[in-house]
Amino acid sequence: MIGRVMPIDPVLAVIGERATQAQYDAVYLEMGLDKPLIVQFGIYVGDVIQGDFGRSIRTGQRVAEDIARVFPATLELATLGTLIGVFLGVPLGVISAVRRGSWIDQLARFVGLIGYSMPIFWLGLMGLLIFYGILGVVAGPGRVDIFYDGIVEPVTGMLLIDSLIRGQFDVFQNAFSHIILPASLLGYFSLAYISRMTRSFMLEQLSSEYVTTARVKGLSEWKVVWRHAFRNIRIQLITVIALAYANLLEGSVLTEIIFAWPGIGQYITTSLLANDMNSVLGGTIVIGTIFVALNIFSDLLYRFFDPRSK
């Protein structure tokens, strides 16, 4: 509805400003713009239910085909970023809680604060300047060097996996050099959230009576922390990690723009600037659906890890 009432003429976006009035009227009727807004909305919803998001004005292809082409790049980037955030953020949060008030705790909280406070686009620009421009330890913007572009035949659409499947290890190395910096930045953003929540959950468990009892019984600190306290926060961490993953999937727009990453974030942004509302709406619906699906998936995992929720 918002796309229809915006001061954008979808007909002119299709046929251009030099078209005749007859051509304009024909396309106007073909797009169903003569119908009331509520009817147009109903038609669009019906098409979406059938998996039809319309045709992209910018690319001339079906929006569903465009999304299927660009989404794996975002999925690959967000997945690697989430893995970095989980494998670093969870231990950092646990150690911070166990060493509450120590310099390790203060450092972990400071690192998390920086990750929350610094704009992702600024971190991206600084990362490119330092690690690519000055040190030269990572590759620059883009998903892969032009020389390797198109060498690997897509299987999953995720270049790292596809290059390993095809045995193209030189492509894998080049693709990894391109993805490691943006994935690390997203991972740092995710780490800040995950470590903070892990610390909060662990502090609550470590102050419980059963932890005191376990320590009185003479159990080692390792068993008390990881086998008892950490086991009881796994269910809460599931939701935290799922939300962090969903946030990276939908919030990687700025990162994709800075690093020229050909994902769904850049696709939606480019389409919006081109007044291609079908592409914008299609991408938004896909991201929203994934966000809801991840929440449902975390609820299902609740039932697996906690029989009391059945």
pLDDT digits (tens, 9 = 90+) for 193-234: 899 899 999 988 888 888 888 888 877 778 888 878 888 888
How confident is the model at residue 309, as a pLDDT?
56
pLDDT over 70 at 120, yes or no: yes
Task: Tell me the mean pLDDT in the region 58-83.
Answer: 90
What's the token pair of residue 32?
């169903």
List the chain domain ranges.
2-49, 75-309
- The residue type found at 130 is I
What six digits make up the tokens of 229? 């306290």
Cα dihedral 247→250→254→257 (10° resolution): 140
When pLDDT is cut at 50, 70 and 90, the band that residue 310 belongs to is low
- Asked if residue 278 lies in contact with residue 15, where contact means CB atoms within 8 angstroms, the answer is no
Which one-letter DSSP state was computed for residue 218? Answer: T
Contacts 24+ apart (CB under 8 A), 125-134: 125/258, 127/181, 127/184, 127/185, 128/181, 128/258, 128/259, 131/181, 132/181
Please provide the CATH number assigned to the domain covering 75-309.
1.10.3720.10
Per-residue pLDDT tens digits for 169-193? 999 999 999 999 999 999 998 898 8
> pLDDT band for position 76 (50/70/90)?
very high
Helix (H), strand (E) at residue 170: helix 169-206
Q: How far is CA 205 from the centre of its chain?
A: 30
Tell me how far apart the alpha carbons of residues 189 and 16 are, in angstroms, rounded to a whole number.
42
End-to-end C-alpha distance for the chain, whole angstroms: 40
Please state the pTM of the whole predicted model: 0.85
